[in-house]
Every structure is written in C-alpha cells, then in structure tokens.
Amino acid sequence: MKDGYKNESELNKSGRKKRKKNLVTKKKIYSLNINIKLKIVYSDNINLLSVASENVFNRNEHIVEEQIVSLPVTLKEKLATWSIKYAIPRAVVTDLLHILHNDNESLPLDSRTLLNTPRTLSITLMKPGKFLYIGLEKCLRNIIQQVQNPPDILYIDLFVDGAPIYKDSYENGQIWPILFRVKNLNSAIFPICIFGGSSKPESFNEFLRPFVEEFISIHDDFQVKNSRYKIKIYNLILDTPARSSVLGIVGHTGYNSCPKCHAYGRRVENRTVLLETDSPLRTDHEF
C-alpha cells in the first residue's frame, strides 16, 4: 500500500511537470502565432479578395443598382481567383504555373507573383501585442477600379470588434481588426488594420490614430485616375464593450454608462440598471 501511494504521488508530480512544460511551450509560440496570423490575413491583391470573399450583407438599401463589378477575364486573373477561392496551397499553384507556362509565357512562374503577395509587411509593436496597418486608401482604390461609373460620394460602414485567437479557455490571445465595406457599392468586406495580442489594445487612441489620420487626409478629396470622390462614414458598427473602448466612455456595467444622458445607475440583483427617464441629455462637449 505504501509503495502504491508513493507511485501515485510520483505520477501526480510527473503529470504536473508535463502540464507546466506544455504551458511554457504554448507561451513561447504565442507571439509567433500572432505574427503568422497577422501575415496570412493580409493580401495586396484586393481585386481578387473582393471576388472570392462572401458578402455577408444581403440588404439592398442605399445600393446603386447600376454598378457592375468586373469579373476576372484573363487566364492570370482566373487562376488567381481560383487559388484564393479554394485556398489552394502556394506550392501547388506554383507547380501548375510551371506546367502552363510552356503554352502561355505571359503567366508568372511563382504563386507570389500571381497573387501580388507583398514580400514584407510593416508590423509594429503596440502594447500588449503587434499591429499591422493595411490602409483605407489602398482598398478603396482597388474597389473603385472594379466598378463602372462609381458615385461621387462613397458611404462606408466601419466595424470594430475583438475575437479570441484560441478556443482553449487558458489562452487569452485576442485579435482586433478594423473592417469596412462601401455601402452604396455593396462591396465585400476588407480589413483596414489588425491588432493581435494577449488582450485588447492598451491604448485605443494609438490603435485608431493611423486610420483617423488617413481618413482626415483623403475623405474630402480622394482621387482615382482623373476622378475625385468624397468619403463619408455611414455606420459605425460596434457591440457594447467595443463601443465603450472605441469611444473612450464608461463601460456598460458602470453607473454613468449611458452615452445619451446623465442618468445614474444602481445595482439590482448583480446588475447595473438605469431607472431615470427624465435625466438631462449630454451635450457634445460633455460626451
């Protein structure tokens, strides 16, 4: 019996050591995973992404019916669209290009050339993780070039939210993108920037600043070839926690959490409730 207890104790210690080693290993590859995820999300060929992406918006309000999105015409464009749509491995695409190149010398020999994959990405440090800025102008320029007779004013919907990177509960990695679509062109959804880290961005001012500065610089006079456009934000789509972080206001569980008025909440059954209905409204200065 004593030997049995001793063996059981040794097994427990061995199990704890293995679990600790596993956790250490996962922590070591954590930053690498974030870096990889940031890289695979981004592709410079926005034209092909828009064709391959599924449009999750089915509503037709404010849609310009006359707009016609150009489809891939050349063999190169068709191959690129096919490889993205069905997630064909890069090595397979490269082998196929070598086979087809004998009969069509205009085709590139490498999948990276076919897809215009950027050789380097400008990933910067942002507490507590890393940040990749893709840019609004680059995406808009590619969208407009696919459309015949685009309108003079482009209305965009912005979406900001966080999502867990890992399914396991003991991993706390998050990814925070800023996404957009051109509402009156019913475009696909594209990323403007992506943050990945152990939690949400420490400073949302730092997270939003590149987009805000770029939007201010192009929103009133955005030029593509010989045409000029204006850009306006139509919707800012946020859930409640993301709204408080992006707007820099009290979270939804706080006593002063109403963004519209000065109602003061109280705790009722472990919940914050706002019972006042005639509180003075907040002004722009007080918001």
Read off the pLDDT of residues 17-68 as tens digits, 9 standing for 90 and up.
Answer: 544 444 444 444 344 344 434 443 444 443 333 333 333 333 333 333 334 3
* E strand spans, the chain: 123-126, 129-133, 153-160, 163-164, 174-182, 190-197, 222-224, 227-237, 266-268, 271-273
Average pLDDT over residues 264-281: 88
The pTM score is 0.63
As a dihedral over the C-alpha atoms of residue 262, residue 268, residue 272, residue 275, rounded to 10 degrees, the angle is -30
pLDDT band at 13 (very low <50, low <70, confident <90, very high): low
Average pLDDT over residues 236-246: 90
* Count of structural domains, the chain: 2
Q: State which H helix or E strand residue 5 sits in.
A: helix 2-41
Measure the N-to-C terminal CA separation of the chain; round to a whole number of Å.
71
β-partners of residue 182 are 156
283: tokens are 């002004």
Q: What is the pLDDT of residue 45?
A: 40
Q: What is the pLDDT of residue 10?
A: 52
Residues 222, 257: one domain? no
Q: What is the pLDDT of residue 240?
A: 86
Average pLDDT over residues 252-272: 87
**Residue 227: C-alpha distances to residues 66, 152, 153, 222 (Å):** 18, 9, 11, 8
139: tokens are 């995406």
Residues 154, 274: one domain? no
Under a CB-based contact definition with an 8 Å cutoff, are residues 193 and 235 in contact?
no
Distance CA 64, CA 20 (A): 58
Residues 280, 181: one domain? no
Paired sense of beta strands 153-160 and 227-237, if any: parallel
Q: What is the pLDDT of residue 65?
A: 38
Q: 15 lies in a domain?
A: yes
β-partners of residue 266 are 273
- The distance from CA 264 to its chain's CA centroid, rounded to whole angstroms, is 35
- The residue type of 33 is N
Read off the pLDDT of residues 155-177 as tens digits, 9 standing for 90 and up.
Answer: 999 999 998 887 765 667 899 99
pLDDT band at 248 (very low <50, low <70, confident <90, very high): confident
Residues 41, 137: one domain? yes
pLDDT band at 134 (very low <50, low <70, confident <90, very high): very high
Instruction: Say which residue the tokens 């519209």 belong to.
Output: 260
Q: 82 lies in a domain?
A: no
Residues 280, 148: one domain? no
Residues 281, 227: one domain? no
When mean pLDDT is compared over 166-175, 209-218, 235-244, 261-270, the highest value belongs to 209-218
Q: State which H helix or E strand residue 147 sits in.
A: none
Q: 165 lies in a domain?
A: yes
When mean pLDDT is compared over 3-17, 67-81, 82-96, the highest value belongs to 82-96
Average pLDDT over residues 147-153: 90
Q: 279 lies in a domain?
A: yes
**Residue 220: C-alpha distances to residues 135, 152, 235 (Å):** 17, 11, 18
Average pLDDT over residues 246-261: 86
Q: What is the pLDDT of residue 192?
A: 94
Under a CB-based contact definition with an 8 Å cutoff, are residues 188 and 53 in contact?
yes
Which domain range does residue 164 map to?
2-46+120-248
Model confidence at 15: pLDDT above 90: no
Q: 231 lies in a domain?
A: yes
Q: Give residues with Cβ within 8 angstroms of 101, minimum separation 6.
A: 107, 109
Output helix, strand, coil percentages for the chain, rounded to the nearest 5.
Answer: 40, 20, 40
Distance CA 84, CA 87 (A): 5
Distance CA 222, CA 279 (A): 42
How high does pLDDT run on average in the chain?
77
Distance CA 255, CA 283 (A): 18
Q: 149 lies in a domain?
A: yes
Q: 99 lies in a domain?
A: no
Model confidence at 6: pLDDT above 80: no
